[in-house]
């Protein structure tokens, strides 16, 4: 047997050639068609079509969570972890330097002096 589109085409072709119908039958068909048209729902509001479109593109709500939220959450957690790690590193670094300045050979004043470090470097380069 023919497949569906071909079958449909054949019917369309026959109908296009004209089907002899009684006047009462065509009147009934016309009335039915008009009734159907009058009851047809107005098109969905544009905004809804739009959101539906987005959700549809993202694969619906389940697709949205998988394709968008999961990577974004992963990324956010990653950023948070890096930030926390950096803060910890900075605190540890300050602690280490404080201990070194507090216990080192030179008094605190030597490290506060604006010129000593430059003078020392200049000497070291000779």
Residues that bind another protein (CB under 8 A): 50, 53-54, 57-58, 68-69, 72-73, 75-77, 79-81, 83-84, 87, 91, 94-95, 97-108, 110-125
Tell me how far, at minimum, the Cβ of 48 lies from another protein, in Å: 13
Tell me how far, at minimum, the Cβ of 119 lies from another protein, in Å: 4
CA-closest candidate to residue 29, choices 42, 15, 41, 43:
15
Indicate the residue among 62 and 125 with the shorter CB distance to another protein.
Answer: 125
For 58, residues 6+ apart whose C-beta sits below 8 A from its C-beta are 64, 67, 68
Between CA 31 and CA 49 the distance in angstroms is: 31
């Amino acid at each position: 047997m023919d497949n569906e589109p071909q079958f449909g085409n054949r019917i369309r072709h026959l109908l296009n050639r004209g089907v002899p119908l009684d006047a009462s039958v065509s009147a009934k068909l016309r009335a039915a068609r008009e009734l159907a048209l009058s009851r047809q729902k107005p098109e969905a509001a544009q905004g809804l079509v739009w959101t539906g479109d987005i959700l549809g593109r993202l694969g619906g709500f389940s697709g949205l969570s998988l394709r968008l939220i999961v990577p974004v959450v992963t990324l956010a957690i990653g950023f948070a972890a890096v930030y926390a790690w950096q803060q910890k590193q900075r605190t540890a670094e300050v602690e280490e330097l404080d201990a070194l300045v507090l216990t080192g050979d030179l008094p605190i004043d030597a490290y506060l002096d604006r010129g000593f470090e430059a003078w020392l470097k200049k000497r070291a380069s000779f």
